[in-house]
Chain A
């Protein structure tokens, strides 16, 4: 890899790091100021809504199956249903994911028979 390419890689890495870091420093300063001046809104309302929305958006993006045919979608829906049902019973993080992946795996295995 040439020196120019290494510089490009480091620029991409540093830029990505700053995108993650600088908003933290900004928000921490804002929080400090709001603590000093009691009554000031510490976190903008839109930011509190945007957090859960970003997670929902990442969920939406990740829903598209690798093989986006009818059986791929069915496997995704059944896997999600299994995840949801397990979450309703356990209210935990790990087990619903394991059950979801296992169900999706079984559906993927039987897909040739369905298709």
Chain B
């Protein structure tokens, strides 16, 4: 669906959100299945795994929480690490706020504001009419949340069997995430200044991940990219565009 189509398409807005978030599923489900498997192997029941995925709903921090609890770490430390990893989410809602029309639903919907849903919403909400935005976000966030819960349950109940049957699927499907993020980032390459800053950010995040610092790497790389953006002098163009 093109940018023009999404702004003018008929039909319920929530359905548009569901449709737009479909690519997330091929990234979410394999990771959620892995989490379900890891959680049950760490001694958590299916119900407990379900509760962690449904309530915390933040991929990387869930793995850390389960791993720390299983290794006998103090519970306060497991909670502190969970929150530290998720701290990067603080900048997501303020970035979306200018496109959120007044609605009592937004506070509840913030539970679904993951990295991926933020990236999707940041690109899509400005293209939608105001009246469509709550419905769109509801459809996108709910599908992502339910797929994460369903994947975790599947992993808890049949993860071992699934991984043995289709080992390649677990390797291939998560590629949907970098592919999706690429499609969301590419339209931002609007000037040499933005291009350089974004490339610095992507390269820094990649380097942090290779160095085993994926979670801390996200805010650090974003800060480096931002620093690069503000350090670079924008060339003065006749039209005033930067």
Are B115's CB and A12's CB within 8 A? no
Distance in angstroms between the alpha carbons of A51 and B222 in the assembled complex: 8
Number of interface residues of A (CB under 8 A): 68
B75 to chain A, nearest CB (A): 4
Distance in angstroms between the alpha carbons of A51 and B51 in the assembled complex: 30
Say which one of B129-137, B143-151, B157-165, B225-233 lies at the interface with A: B225-233
A53 to chain B, nearest CB (A): 4
Are B44's CB and A80's CB within 8 A? no
Q: In this complex, what residue of B is CB-closest to A7?
A: B75
With an 8 A cutoff between CB atoms, is A38 at the interface?
A: no
Are B79's CB and A12's CB within 8 A? yes
Q: Of B98, B119, B175, which contacts A42 at CB under 8 A? A: B98
Q: Is the interface of B mostly helix, strand, loop or mixed?
A: helix
- The answer to whether A12 and B65 touch (CB under 8 A), given A47-B94, A59-B181, is yes
Q: In this complex, what residue of A is CB-closest to B228?
A: A53
Are A97's CB and B185's CB within 8 A? no
Q: In this complex, what residue of A is CB-closest to B60?
A: A61
Are B113's CB and A20's CB within 8 A? yes
Distance in angstroms between the alpha carbons of A53 and B98 in the assembled complex: 18
Are A61's CB and B83's CB within 8 A? no
A29 to chain B, nearest CB (A): 10
Note all chain B residues with C-beta closer than 8 A to A94.
Answer: 1, 19-20, 22-23
Query: Which residues in B have some Cβ–Cβ distance to A below 8 Å?
Result: 1-3, 19-20, 22-23, 26, 44-45, 48, 51-52, 55-58, 61, 65, 69, 75-76, 78-79, 82-83, 86-98, 100, 106-107, 110-111, 113, 115-116, 118-119, 122-123, 168, 170-186, 188, 194, 197-198, 201-206, 208-210, 214, 217-219, 221-223, 225-226, 229-230
